[in-house]
């Protein structure tokens, strides 16, 4: 019985680590016609736009190489408590955290340059008729 109690204590001790690089979970509900001038850069693959006022630090909407859409929170996953908004690079296949220099790939949100180790927070994107909707 002592061995079992020891295993439980070890699991509790090492299983309660601090979650790092967690972008806060906030409600997102953004909807816009695909013809909206703000989305002009999305008319071709690899295009990206930023939208303010949604998520933690705004949104990035990206048109993937396969023609689908991805949406990410602009809040960097490096020190997210600082709410540093990442900015689009040119060309727009990546975005950079100007506070730390970290880079992220927009095709899937994954980290591309240290100190980033966690992907961007991704939101759901739906196309219904002529409307684009980003939600979580």
pTM: 0.84
What is 102-132 written as a DSSP string? -EEETTT--EEETT--SPPPEEEEEEETTEE
Q: Which fold has domain 33-135?
A: Rieske Iron-sulfur Protein (2.102.10)
In whole angstroms, what is the distance from residue 104 CA to residue 67 CA? 19
pLDDT tens, position by position, 93-109? 999 999 999 999 999 99
Are 20 and 124 in contact by the 8 Å Cβ rule? The answer is no
Lowest mean pLDDT segment, chosen from 14-18, 23-27, 33-37: 14-18
- Least Cα distance to 114 among 105, 123, 106, 103 occurs for 103
Question: Is residue 59 scored above 90 in pLDDT?
Answer: yes
């Amino acid at each position: 019985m002592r061995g079992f109690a020891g295993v439980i204590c070890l699991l509790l001790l090492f299983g309660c680590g601090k979650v790092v690089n967690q972008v806060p979970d906030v409600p997102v509900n953004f909807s816009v016609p695909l013809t909206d001038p703000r989305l002009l850069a999305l008319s071709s693959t690899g295009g990206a736009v930023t939208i303010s006022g949604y998520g933690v630090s705004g949104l990035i909407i990206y048109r993937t190489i396969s023609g689908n859409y991805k949406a990410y929170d602009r809040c960097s996953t490096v020190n997210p408590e600082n709410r540093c908004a990442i900015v689009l690079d040119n060309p727009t296949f990546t975005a950079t955290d100007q506070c730390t220099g970290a880079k992220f790939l927009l095709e899937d949100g994954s980290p591309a340059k240290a100190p980033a180790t966690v992907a961007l927070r991704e939101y759901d994107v739906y196309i219904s008729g002529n409307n684009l909707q980003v939600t979580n």
